Chain A
Amino acid sequence: MGGKVTCTLGEVKQKADFIVYWGGNPAECHPRHFTKYTIMRKSKFLPNGRKDRTMVLVDIRETKSAKAADVFLQVRPGKDFELLTILRALIKDQPVDNDRIPETGLTRDVLDDLIRRMKAAKFGCMFFGMGLSMTCGKHMNSAALLTLVAELNAFTKFVAMPMRGHGNVTGADVIMRWQTGYPFGITFNRGYPRYNPGEFSTVDVLVRGDCDAAFIIGADPGGTMPQPAIDHLKRIPTIVLDPHITFTSRLARVHITTAPQGIAAPGTAYRMDELPLPLKPALKSPYPTDEDVVRRINAALDAKPFWLPEDGRPRMLTAQV
């Protein structure tokens, strides 16, 4: 990750008078977003709610969210990066060749109007969704948007926030970071954490057939991963912890049924803005929690002879780049 200028959702709810959704369809994908956090919300600083807030939608097609927007900008598919780069130049009054604008699907007047509105905002927030971060250019697009937002702070307050999917993906990312320094795509095969997405990400390890066992918690790769990865999961001993029967549990050698998180198992979930929320179970389950199972496996492993060499001294990593 490069830089990121962001906030928790409560700041948006209290203060954002200018809200951009870029490459997302909140009206259908996050139906409570408008009323809980953004345009419909009244606050001490924005007492008239919707009337005090401006909403801009940037997307390749006119979704239901466009009806809620004050301004809808239909960007040509695959031209997000170009549009973001032009906006970065325009906010700084750098010359932009008029010929470069039509390929984005928008006009100079529309962009000038957007720049004027962004600079006039007291507190702007850009939410960016899968439509931006998962299309061609992927992380280049998100990086360009994050840079635009950072640079807007020379003129007014501006923040950016990704619209993440569901589940506790953020929680896994947060904890891996504090224990290993990296969010995902980590290997411990030399006894310490190393990071290389594309090489050590689960899907790459499976497709190459590099691992000789798989232990899966809270995920269903059997439903989403490419066929060669699934084939490898079938070949090796795959162990799944899941409250439900899933694609992965069907192909696994062992499926341990566990109590569902948040419903019958306590813990912490991290929201998309990385706020930790406690999970307080409402029901009791006859099944053990994921945590119980992992602790019992760890205890059993501790009883076995230790397998790593006993050379304990830390060492400097200098050879790697």
Chain B
Amino acid sequence: MMRITGGRVYDPANGIDGAVKELRIDDHGRFVDAIEGGRTIDATGMIVFPGGVDVHTHVAGGAINFARAMTPEDHRRTQAFIRTKNRRSGLGGMAPTTFATGYLYAGMGWTTVNEAAVPVLSARHTHEELGDIPIVDKSTLALMANNEILLDQLEAGEYERARSVVAWYIWAAKAYGVKAVNPGGVAAWKWGHDAKQLTSPISGYDTLTPGRIITQLARICDDLGLPHPMHLHCNNLGAPGNIATTLDTLRHLEGSRAHIAHSQYHAYGGDGWDSIRSASRQLADYFNAHPGLTTDAGAVLFGDTVTITADGPWQHLLYKLTGRKWGNLDVENETGCGIVPYTYRPSNLVNAVQWATGLELLLLIRDPFQAFLSTDHPNGGCFWRYPEIIKLLMCADFRNECMAKLPEAIRRRIVLPEIDREYTLYEIAASMSAGPARALGLSKKGNLGIGCDADLVIYDADDDAARMFSRPRYVIKGGEIVIEDGEIRETPQGREFLVRPPCDPDIDAFMRPLFEDRYTMSFENYPVEIERIEHADVRPCAPAP
């Protein structure tokens, strides 16, 4: 039991904006009305936030582990966690090791993370890694938009069957929701092609188009009643002029729920690398006119990183542009993934446009319950650099200072110099916690109300937002103090959220022969057993009647 007194509380889920309020936590790690006894934390003069929620990150599984193998030189100039009595050793850097991932997220005040790209075929691996990420709660999204068994059903117009196939895969993966990456484009990549037009049939199919995959899969997620809508990485990522594809995609989604991943990478104008410019205004206008739609920024920070995505064709292009190492792993029947180390340089016009576009989207989309803090870790920058982005959002002077270091030619290509909005603490709390929790459908997260999980972070007030957000005074997870004064106190094992959507009871009989034809693993061995998930928490679905 614990009470936190005297702190200024920012709890956007309950409309609380800096009021001094006492919080009480019971022995089950929940906020309650009243308690008897227990420890008291005097937070007078401090700032209290709900624990951060990362709606889109890549921290576990075959792809990030491939990236670790490709970047041994990075591990040698990075943060080292030394083994202590209550902490395992590990390394930070561009692709942190599992134990370090938990320590780094918690150390910054984040208590829930959503691993956004899991091939069902290797979900067992992803869950084993997640079991080695301490402190934070976790959820996963299964990659579906290039699954050939599903695409065959969609091409044949078998909607009901397709819906059951998706439900079957989600439960086989022990996932929490559905991720769609470059719908149809990754399947086409298996032949060395891409899918850039939403209305053209994709390679290997007669009539099926990316547009159709998008609308059908979004509808399936809604009909299954998944707590989180379809999580979409649009076609044509990273390409100059891709704003047309992105807006077209959004029009395909009218009438459905959707979360648009890393929208920075999908908001460019121009018609080539020489003329690329930000199209953030057009995209932000769309979001401002469609309040149900959510997105995360996928913001870019200058410096070294490693890019990993299921978008194989994009990674091949990046490899050709950079001439650096290239890793590619196509996963049978389901998806692919590519890995390319990358350095974002302020002197590079394309990178400078990307840097500005991410910030512009966060600043131009008015409602922080719609636009969330993310770097698409590690693609735009590492998650442990989030405090830098918070400072850029909260301080226009600091933005201008950073902009002054960019090439003069950038000014005609971006709108950032015209924006003077500064995020308030309330808006930061919404964008880093309450908003993403709501979008994920995790009703007990990102919320300091009675009955919710007691995940919170307490900061010493500091004029330098980057310093304040990188060194919380306390981080409390499930009612337990895990970080105090920058020290890791406890490393509890978090929960993993997943769903079991309703599905046709005959689906096994339907899947088996198709499976045996396509895959190289036995049908019985494919689904991850629920016993393999550490602290599984199965969340309810609300299927359409």
Residue in contact with A150 in the complex, picked from B93, B99, B326, CB distance below 8 Å: B326
Task: List the A side residues contacting B521 at CB < 8 Å.
Answer: 275, 277
- Beta-carbon contact of B529 and A278 below 8 Å: yes
Taking the closest CB of chain B, its distance from the CB of A204, in whole angstroms, is 17
Residue in contact with B129 in the complex, picked from A11, A153, A178, A314, CB distance below 8 Å: A178
Q: Per-residue CB proximity of B395-429 to A under 8 Å, as 1/0? A: 00000000000000000000000000000000000
- Beta-carbon contact of B125 and A159 below 8 Å: no
Residue in contact with B79 in the complex, picked from A159, A280, A310, A316, CB distance below 8 Å: A316
- Beta-carbon contact of A195 and B72 below 8 Å: yes
Query: Who on chain A is nearest to B123 by CB?
Result: A276
Taking the closest CB of chain B, its distance from the CB of A123, in whole angstroms, is 7
- Beta-carbon contact of B520 and A13 below 8 Å: yes
Q: How far is the CA of A15 from the CA of B187 in the complex (A)?
A: 12
Q: A182-B75, A317-B80 are in contact. Are A150 and B319 (CB under 8 A)?
A: yes
- Beta-carbon contact of A157 and B190 below 8 Å: yes
Q: A7-B332, A157-B190 are in contact. Are A181 and B75 (CB under 8 A)?
A: yes
Task: List the A side residues contacting B81 at CB < 8 Å.
Answer: 192, 314
Does residue B488 face the partner (Cβ distance < 8 Å to A)?
yes
Q: Per-residue CB proximity of A299-321 to B under 8 Å, as 1/0? A: 00000001010111111111011
Q: Per-residue CB proximity of B97-140 to A under 8 Å, as 1/0? A: 11100010000000000000000011011001100100000000
Does residue B39 face the partner (Cβ distance < 8 Å to A)?
no
Q: A2-B70, A179-B90 are in contact. Are A310 and B60 (CB under 8 A)?
A: no
- Beta-carbon contact of B122 and A178 below 8 Å: no
In the complex, which residues 158-200 of chain B have their Cβ closer than 8 Å to any Cβ of chain A?
190-192
- Beta-carbon contact of B325 and A9 below 8 Å: no
In the complex, which residues 466-514 of chain B have their Cβ closer than 8 Å to any Cβ of chain A?
486-488
Taking the closest CB of chain A, its distance from the CB of B491, in whole angstroms, is 11
- Beta-carbon contact of B89 and A9 below 8 Å: no
In the complex, which residues 245-284 of chain A have their Cβ closer than 8 Å to any Cβ of chain B?
268, 270, 274-278, 280
Query: Who on chain A is nearest to B91 by CB?
Result: A181
- Beta-carbon contact of B83 and A180 below 8 Å: no
Taking the closest CB of chain A, its distance from the CB of B490, in whole angstroms, is 12
- Beta-carbon contact of A192 and B132 below 8 Å: no
- Beta-carbon contact of A36 and B80 below 8 Å: no
Q: A159-B330, A178-B97 are in contact. Are A318 and B77 (CB under 8 A)?
A: yes
- Beta-carbon contact of B84 and A314 below 8 Å: no
Does residue A202 face the partner (Cβ distance < 8 Å to B)?
no
Q: How far is the CA of A8 from the CA of B517 in the complex (A)?
A: 15
Does residue B333 face the partner (Cβ distance < 8 Å to A)?
yes
Task: List the A side residues contacting B336 at CB < 8 Å.
Answer: 7
Q: A2-B70, A268-B124 are in contact. Are A7 and B76 (CB under 8 A)?
A: no
Taking the closest CB of chain B, its distance from the CB of A182, in whole angstroms, is 6
- Beta-carbon contact of A157 and B328 below 8 Å: no
- Beta-carbon contact of B89 and A188 below 8 Å: yes
In the complex, which residues 65-82 of chain B have their Cβ closer than 8 Å to any Cβ of chain A?
65-66, 68-70, 72, 75-82
Taking the closest CB of chain A, its distance from the CB of B520, in whole angstroms, is 4
Task: List the B side residues contacting A10 at CB < 8 Å.
Answer: 332-333, 518-520
- Beta-carbon contact of A3 and B326 below 8 Å: yes
In the complex, which residues 1-39 of chain A have their Cβ closer than 8 Å to any Cβ of chain B?
1-11, 13-15, 36-37
Q: A3-B325, A8-B520, A276-B124 are in contact. Are A312 and B87 (CB under 8 A)?
A: yes
Q: How far is the CA of A189 from the CA of B60 in the complex (A)?
A: 26
Task: List the A side residues contacting B525 at CB < 8 Å.
Answer: 277-278, 280
Task: List the A side residues contacting B62 at CB < 8 Å.
Answer: 274
Taking the closest CB of chain A, its distance from the CB of B212, in whole angstroms, is 20
Residue in contact with B98 in the complex, picked from A7, A178, A188, CB distance below 8 Å: A178
Does residue A191 face the partner (Cβ distance < 8 Å to B)?
yes
Q: Per-residue CB proximity of B519-535 to A under 8 Å, as 1/0? A: 11100010001001000
- Beta-carbon contact of B328 and A177 below 8 Å: no
Q: How far is the CA of A8 from the CA of B190 in the complex (A)?
A: 12
Q: Chain B contact residues: over half helix, strand or loop, or mixed?
A: mixed
- Beta-carbon contact of A9 and B520 below 8 Å: yes
Does residue B387 face the partner (Cβ distance < 8 Å to A)?
no
Taking the closest CB of chain B, its distance from the CB of A298, in whole angstroms, is 12
Does residue B41 face the partner (Cβ distance < 8 Å to A)?
no
Q: How far is the CA of A311 from the CA of B517 in the complex (A)?
A: 56
Q: How far is the CA of A321 from the CA of B488 in the complex (A)?
A: 28
Does residue A168 face the partner (Cβ distance < 8 Å to B)?
no
Query: Who on chain A is nearest to B86 by CB?
Result: A312
Q: A193-B90, A320-B76 are in contact. Are A313 and B487 (CB under 8 A)?
A: yes
Task: List the B side residues contacting A280 at CB < 8 Å.
Answer: 525
Task: List the B side residues contacting A275 at CB < 8 Å.
Answer: 121-122, 520-521
Q: How far is the CA of A191 from the CA of B80 in the complex (A)?
A: 9
- Beta-carbon contact of B128 and A268 below 8 Å: yes
Task: List the B side residues contacting A153 at CB < 8 Å.
Answer: 192, 316
Taking the closest CB of chain B, its distance from the CB of A151, in whole angstroms, is 10
Task: List the B side residues contacting A311 at CB < 8 Å.
Answer: 82, 84
Taking the closest CB of chain A, its distance from the CB of B303, in whole angstroms, is 15
Taking the closest CB of chain A, its distance from the CB of B305, in whole angstroms, is 15
Does residue B331 face the partner (Cβ distance < 8 Å to A)?
yes
- Beta-carbon contact of B332 and A316 below 8 Å: no
Query: Who on chain A is nearest to B336 by CB?
Result: A7
Query: Who on chain B is nearest to A8 by CB?
Result: B332
Q: How far is the CA of A280 from the CA of B525 in the complex (A)?
A: 9
Q: A150-B319, A179-B90, A181-B91 are in contact. Are A8 and B191 (CB under 8 A)?
A: no
Task: List the A side residues contacting B89 at CB < 8 Å.
Answer: 180, 188, 191-193
Does residue B12 face the partner (Cβ distance < 8 Å to A)?
no
Query: Who on chain B is nearest to A15 by CB?
Result: B190
- Beta-carbon contact of B191 and A177 below 8 Å: no
Does residue B92 face the partner (Cβ distance < 8 Å to A)?
yes
Does residue B320 face the partner (Cβ distance < 8 Å to A)?
yes
- Beta-carbon contact of B518 and A14 below 8 Å: yes
Query: Who on chain B is nearest to A182 by CB?
Result: B72
Q: How far is the CA of A193 from the CA of B78 in the complex (A)?
A: 12
- Beta-carbon contact of B332 and A9 below 8 Å: yes
Task: List the B side residues contacting A190 at CB < 8 Å.
Answer: 82
11 other contacts beyond A178-B65, A178-B132, with CB at 8 A cut-off?
A4-B70, A157-B190, A159-B330, A174-B65, A178-B98, A179-B97, A188-B83, A191-B89, A274-B329, A313-B487, A320-B77
A-B contact pairs, 11 of them (CB 8 A): A4-B66, A11-B331, A13-B520, A123-B190, A154-B320, A157-B192, A188-B89, A192-B80, A312-B82, A314-B80, A318-B77
Interface residues of B (CB under 8 A from A): 60, 62, 65-66, 68-70, 72, 75-85, 87-93, 95, 97-99, 103, 121-122, 124-125, 128-129, 132, 190-192, 204, 316, 319-320, 325-333, 336, 486-488, 517-521, 525, 529, 532
Nearest 4 Cβ contacts at the A-B interface: A10-B332, A7-B330, A157-B192, A3-B325
